Amino acid sequence: MAERISKEIADTRGIHALQTATEKAPVTLERPVDSLFDLKNIPKPHVSRALVAVDNEHPFGSPGHHHNGLTVLQQHVAFFDRNQDGIVYPWETYAGFRAIGCNPLVSFLSMLFINVSFSYPTLDTWIPDPLLPIYIRNIHKTKHASDTNVFDPEGRFSPARFEEIFSKFARTDPQYLTFDELLEMTEALRNAFDPFGWIANKLEWGFTYWLVKNEKGMAPKDAIRGVYDGSFFEWLEKQLIENRNTRYV
């Protein structure tokens, strides 16, 4: 009898230990994370990956994408290192945005925001550099608050955190985010007294949505993952070059 009661108590505790929502916190019901327990294709999804951006559909990362020994956050930035010297200068940021189809004004404004905001934290000295270089080896120091935490403080990629975005906010289709869902996500991620993080997160995700959205106005999960590791930038540049070459054949 005692053993049966003990087992029932243990079972009850086990259910409670895995519970992800409660009626006394309605927001936990509005943003479910139950699907995180179904990540069968990813071994240890809670462990952040240094070299590859993996999700349930891509347990080995982006096909054909080479990490070159860089963290996923470094890969995200390395696309803009046009001469591959490990440093992203403002003119390279501008060239990178032009390479993915942005007009001169958007490219210039993006260059200003990115290099002015993120150059200084990546320097090895307290003295600012007027050329505003971004050192890729120190890019993890630019991580700001009010974000998804898909990148950990060292620039690794967290599969569980990435899947959590779609579990919580992708209500229309589990493989896509609509603009309204993306906007709700950025609002939900806001930390108190963090105006820089609020602005940065809105700009980053707003640009991501504009860049990857399909003809139905939805942002595909795979394209968003490709932005995280930079493989989407590479693919988009190749597509634009091929389209340009085809036009003159």
Q: Where are the domains of the chain?
A: 30-247
d(CA 109, CA 17): 48
| Cβ atoms of 90 and 115 closer than 8 Å | yes
**pLDDT tens for residues 91-125?**
999 999 999 999 999 999 999 999 999 999 999 99
69 Cβ contact partners less than 8 Å away, ≥ 6 residues apart: 51
| Cβ atoms of 224 and 208 closer than 8 Å | yes
How confident is the model at residue 32, as a pLDDT?
86
Supply the angle between the helices 179-188 and 159-169 in degrees, to the nearest 10: 120
Provide the β-strand partners of residue 25.
Answer: 22
Residue 238 sits at the vertex; the CA angle it makes with 233 and 240, to the nearest 5 degrees, is 95
Provide the β-strand partners of residue 151.
Answer: 157
Task: Quote the pTM value.
Answer: 0.91
The mean pLDDT values, 10 residues at a time, for the chain of 249 residues are: 54 68 91 74 93 96 96 98 98 98 97 98 97 98 97 97 96 97 97 96 97 97 98 97 75
Length of the chain: 249
92 Cβ contact partners less than 8 Å away, ≥ 6 residues apart: 80, 81, 82, 83
